[in-house]
Amino acid sequence: MRLRLLLLALGTFAMGTDSMVMAGILGRVSEDLGVSVAAAGQLVTVFALAYALLAPVLATLTARWPRRRLLLTALTVFTVANALSALAPTYGLLLATRALAAAGAALYTPTANAVATAVVPPERRGRALATVLGGMTVATALGVPLGTWVGRTDWRLTMWLVTALGAAAFAGIALMLRDLPAPSATAPGLRARLAPLGDRRVLGAAATTLVFFLAFQSVYIYLATAVRPATGGDPGRLSLILFATGVASVAGSWLGGRLVDRLGARRVLLVGSAVAALAFAALPWAAATMPGALAYAVVTPIAGWSVSVALPHRLASIDPANAPLLISLNSSALYLGTAAGGAAGSAFIALLGERWFPLGAVVLALGATVTTTRVLPPPPTRAAPLAPSEPRRATTGA
């Protein structure tokens, strides 16, 4: 059983690496395809936007497909798309292949979560989901710095690495995952999936997720540009910073879960957003040296991933009976924020320059704090628990 979950996690590891590794190879893509770094950043925007828009649509269209066929179809689309990305001769074709890869990821990740809960006893569902979603977290700690290092001379090698990860997950699932339970005959339609947005509280909570990740990703996507004074353009130094970011992300996810249980989601949201805003404000000076850049790479992910734990908890507490649907909306808002973050970061660079562009994220992070304070309902004394079948946090690409 553990092997099955690890194979599912290998797939989410591939998806997480693919969605985030562009931050480490934007410079190489820019040089090779003859576009600006800001234009190269739109590759992240296209992936995230396609994921956010396609996830609910594909989930509805394939709700009655056998789970194994869904997983293998998703991995086929994802793997082929990354191979095409590695071969893409032009920027326009690379954008198209990024959207295709996002379609595979949008189909795979929710299905892998559903399968994880179906192949274990009810009392082990939380741990099963944590294992599968852990692939996304590990991608930030290992996949992104590894992909950056592999692509230090040729970004296409990074795409081949992700292709190999997708192919390995496909082979493992094809061989080891058989006789999966049939999908539910009463899966909700697209209208039912979007109905909770009619609740002002749900809409406000989803808006908080969107605004926070808009702030966070507007800097992360262009982190190589922000810390260039410290790295001098050296891929090894950049990989070290990204590795520190990944390890801090794992620590932030762990810490966030415990702080939410002890202090409540609202306090974690407010403090985490404020700390992130201060880190963005300090980055233009911190990025002048490697110690300063590494300090930023530790502090910001701890704050950001703590918030990423609190966000789905806060949303689910509004209507615990519909927690699965609410958390899926949180995931879509997260990816929409990531998509908008690519565009926002590009605009900040154009307006403020490569050193000062993180200051734009300060305003957005404070906006997330204001949304939490004024739009969301008063919190309970303790964070409301998620439905038994739900994880402690939603997927981040995270």
Q: For 25-39, 124-138, 311-325, 366-380, which range has the lowest pLDDT when averaged over its residues?
A: 366-380
pLDDT tens digits for range 253-263:
778 777 877 88
User: pLDDT above 90 covers what percent of the chain?
Assistant: 33
Q: Given phi > 0 = left and psi -120 to 50 = alpha, else beta, which region is 155? A: alpha
Residue 94 pLDDT > 70, yes or no? Answer: yes
Q: Determine the residue type at 6.
A: L
Domain boundaries, the chain: 1-187, 195-386
Give CATH superfamily name and number for 195-386: MFS general substrate transporter like domains (1.20.1250.20)
pLDDT tens digits for range 354-388:
999 999 999 998 887 777 665 544 444 444 444 44
Helices 323-356 and 358-374 meet at what angle, rounded to 10?
150
Reduced to 3 states, what is the DSSP secondary structure of residue 387? coil
Torsion of CA 229, 230, 232, 237, to 10 degrees: -150
Q: Token pair of 45, please?
A: 């925007």
Q: Please report where in the chains the tokens 């909770």 appear, as a residue.
A: 196
- Residue 193: partners with Cβ closer than 8 Å, 6 or more residues away: 56, 59, 60, 325, 328, 329
Better-scored residue on pLDDT, 197 or 184: 197
d(Cα 290, Cα 362) in Å, to the nearest integer?
22
**Topology match between the domains 1-187 and 195-386:** yes
Residue 390 pLDDT > 50, yes or no? Answer: no
> How many CB atoms neighbour CB 182 within 10 A?
9
Query: How high is the mean pLDDT of the chain?
Result: 82
pLDDT band at residue 249 under the 50/70/90 scheme: confident
Reduced to 3 states, what is the DSSP secondary structure of residue 234? coil
Better-scored residue on pLDDT, 251 or 297: 297
Q: What is the pLDDT of residue 327?
A: 67
Is 380 exposed, middle or buried, given 0-12, 13-18 or 19+ CB atoms closer than 10 A?
exposed
pTM tops 0.85, yes or no: no
Under CATH, which number does the domain 1-187 receive?
A: 1.20.1250.20
